[in-house]
Homo-oligomer: A and B are copies of this chain.
Amino acid sequence: MKKYNIAVVGATGMVGRKVMEILEERDFPVENFYPLASARSKGEEVTFMSKKYTVEELTDKSFEQDIDIAIFSAGGTTSERFSPVAAKNNVAVVDNSAAFRMNPEIPLVVPEVNPEDLEWHNNIIANPNCSTIQAVVALKPLHEKYKIKRIVYSTYQAVSGSGVKGYNDLKDGINGGENKFYPHQIAFNCIPHIDVFLDNGYTKEEMKMINETRKMLHDDDMAITATTVRVPVYYGHSESVNIEFENEFDLNELKSLLAAAPGIIVQDDVQNNVYPLARDAEGKNEVFVGRIRRDESVKNGVNLWIVADNIRKGAATNAVQIAELLIKNNLLKRC
């Protein structure tokens, strides 16, 4: 079996570390491994597939090395600066930042949803926003069958979505400490504010959910609104999703479609208190869907409760799946 040279950019961050963990778990065919990070983390040691590596500083020269795929998880500024350099050197970049997601020349991909978009990549593939990934995994089979007319998203997002700083703010807050990262205390609170506010009164996170859903479901006119909220949960985003379809549906058929779709586990036995929970989704790679019930307030409406590990399927797992698909479908330019 052919093996590949893999770089992880942001190797010391929360998502970068999880990417390495998932590459290991999935026995990714790694030949050489290049952990890269900013100058600040240069020289740190990381362990990957039972070997110790010293983190190298990310520079333009990094991509003169023999690298097949680079998974970037170091923020938008780093991606904007270094992804084009990597791409020019024929390194396939899977980018976790928001920098390129809405660029019409760059595919935005969830492998279960729109694998076909990988085919027109030009060495940069954008990994979607965490809250959008888990939503579209559940929406795709339903959109295909019943055509989605409108979506109302309300999210319950974990602090790990903000990385270590968010995690620490919750941990400190629980023990009576001051918030250092969030604008308000997150412990025992709900903060309806993720990413920055835009002129239209929405946050960037809310507009990401709206725009990225449209891009991946290939429907620029899909009616969508969103309210995104940070909650005092360490891992696992939960979402209350209200959907209106163009076409009629049978509720049992809809449940069967979800259960049969890739990457989804239906947990919907309410009489036995079975429904998706952030605590249960932690450490899993699937998207969990439950509380599936007809919304009688509108023609062809349904309510779903969608939960996933935001660091795994919402970030690292999806990025690794994209890398796997690039290999499987022979889409690496340098090979």
Contacts and interface: CB of A to CB of B under 8 A. Distances in A.
A213 to B, nearest CB: 11
B227 A271 contact: no
Contacts of A273: 183-184, 193
Interface stretch (A63-71, A97-105, A230-238): A230-238
A277 to B, nearest CB: 6
Assembly stoichiometry (copies): 2
Contact of A227 (B192, B232, B277, B303): B303
Given A192-B238, A233-B188, A270-B201, A225 B279 contact: no
Contact of A231 (B156, B275, B305): B156
Interface in A163-193: 174, 183-185, 188-193
A298 B190 contact: no
Contact of A233 (B150, B232, B234, B290): B232
A46 interface: no
Contacts of A275: 192-193
Given A201-B270, A293-B201, A150 B298 contact: yes
B229 A156 contact: yes
A154 interface: yes
Interface in A299-325: 301, 303, 305
A230 to B, nearest CB: 11
Contacts of A240: 154, 192, 227, 229, 240
B270 A225 contact: no
17 contacts: A152-B242, A154-B154, A156-B156, A189-B236, A189-B279, A191-B277, A197-B271, A200-B293, A201-B291, A201-B292, A201-B294, A223-B298, A225-B295, A225-B303, A227-B242, A231-B232, A232-B233
Interface residues of A, number: 52
A31 interface: no
Nearest to A198: B270
Of A154, A223, A275, A276, chain B has the most CB atoms within 10 Å of the CB of A154
A183 B225 CA distance: 32
A236 B232 CA distance: 14
Chain B CB within 10 Å, residue with most, of A223, A303, A305: A303
Nearest to A268: B201
Interface string A199-240: 011100000000000000000000111010101111010101
A273 B192 CA distance: 10
